[in-house]
Structure 1
Amino acid sequence: MAGDTIGDFLHPKLTWKFLLRLAAVALTAYLIFGYLLIPCIIHGGSMEPTYASTGFNFCWRGAFFFDKPKIGDVVVVKYEDRVFYLKRVVGMPGDTISFYEGKLYRNGQQVEEPYVKLPSDWNLPPRHVEKGHYYVVGDNRSMDIDIHQFGQVAAKRIIGAPLW
């Protein structure tokens, strides 16, 4: 169009139309990054080698709008106000979870876990997963503190899934 220059692009005229578009973009960004995509910093090595020990990811809160987490899903758990962890769901409400010599048992049956690469040898007596809770642990089972730090979490603390 005639009259369009780089200067017009860099210094737009402050018309009501421009201000409304700017407000719409700002509101959309606020809604997306405030409620649907939450930035997460991954600390520690509890999900190695599935996820790097330190890194950045987004939590997609829409992951469980219409469906509940399933066995094997990697979820984002809200631990404190702005502290989020990635964990894998290994037990559903009503299940009994135990570990013997580092192997996961769900309802008395050993579970094959191809994503667990680092061996462990710790034991955990059977624990019943309460209604409204899930049992979550990291993929790096050699970090035995992980099982004691998490384990059973309330469904309301699972806020989404990692975007990538």
Structure 2
Amino acid sequence: MTTRGKSEIVEWTKAIVIALLLAVVIRYFLFAPIVVEGQSMMPTLHHSDRMIVNKIGYTIGKPKRFDIIVFHATEEKDYIKRVIGLPGDTIEYKDDVLFINGEAVEEPYLDHLKADLETNDFLTYDFTLEQVADQSVVPEGHVFVLGDNRRHSLDSRDIGFVEYEDVIGKANMIYWPVSDIRFAK
């Protein structure tokens, strides 16, 4: 083999190693793909939607109200839910209306589901934080999360508050199926 051939092999090997290292860094530290499982976030997200999770956003900031986040629910399972309550907030649902710190808050992402309800039927049952979490406010370093499909969601009403350290990142872009490519809101 000529010197030029050996040099070319070395250059290709370096390029492949650098590309693999970049892929690992991007995958584990910046962005990660996830697959939505179940119907808890419908109609916003559907079963088998594939999304990109932004892992770096919360290293320099904190989750914001109504962000869609991915977090470690158990050692084996990650959940995707919407942030409703931030540290210090009081949360209450009454007659299918969200109250944060005593003020009614609109949830336009639920309008589609609420439109399909029968008269005098509710999407979200009445509750207060004290009833579902034995605390009157969301503790420091935690968020209160709910799935958009409130009747079919295992969320903070069942699993409690989510610690910041368990949050993987913000799920903000659906990339599959191709017909549904969009930013999640």
Q: Mark yes or no: TM-score above 0.5.
A: yes
Which structure's relative contact order is higher, taking Cα pairs within 8 Å and 6+ residues apart? 2
Residue identity opposite 1:125 in structure 2: T
Which TM-score applies when normalising by structure 1? 0.81
Are 1:118 and 2:113 an aligned pair? yes
Q: Which of residues 71, 93, 96 in structure 2 aligns to 1:99?
A: 93
Higher helix share: 2
Matches within 5 A, 1:1-164: 15-116=9-110, 117-119=112-114, 120-126=123-129, 127-143=136-152, 145-164=154-173
Alpha-carbon separation, structure 1, partners of 2:8 and 2:158: 54
Residue identity opposite 2:26 in structure 1: I
Contact persistence 2:40–2:149 (CA under 8 A): yes
Higher strand share: 1
Which TM-score applies when normalising by structure 2? 0.73
Residue identity opposite 1:124 in structure 2: F
Alpha-carbon separation, structure 2, partners of 1:74 and 1:109: 22
Question: Which aligned segments of 4 or more residues in structure 1 are displaced greater than 3 angstroms?
Answer: 144-147
Identity of paired residues, percent? 31
Q: Which runs of 5+ in 2 are unaligned?
A: 1-5, 115-122, 130-135, 174-185
Contact persistence 1:61–1:161 (CA under 8 A): yes
Aligned residues: 153
CA shift, 1:40, in A, is 1.3
Contact persistence 2:146–2:153 (CA under 8 A): no
CA shift, 1:83, in A, is 2.5
Once the two structures are superposed, residues 97-155 of structure 1 have per-residue CA deviations (whole angstroms, 9 ceiling, x without a partner) of 11123321111111110001324151112341001101111111232644533452111
Contact persistence 1:122–1:144 (CA under 8 A): no
Per the alignment, residue 180 of structure 2 pairs with: none
Contact persistence 2:147–2:153 (CA under 8 A): no
Computed over aligned residues only, the root mean square deviation of the Cα atoms, in angstroms, reads 2.2
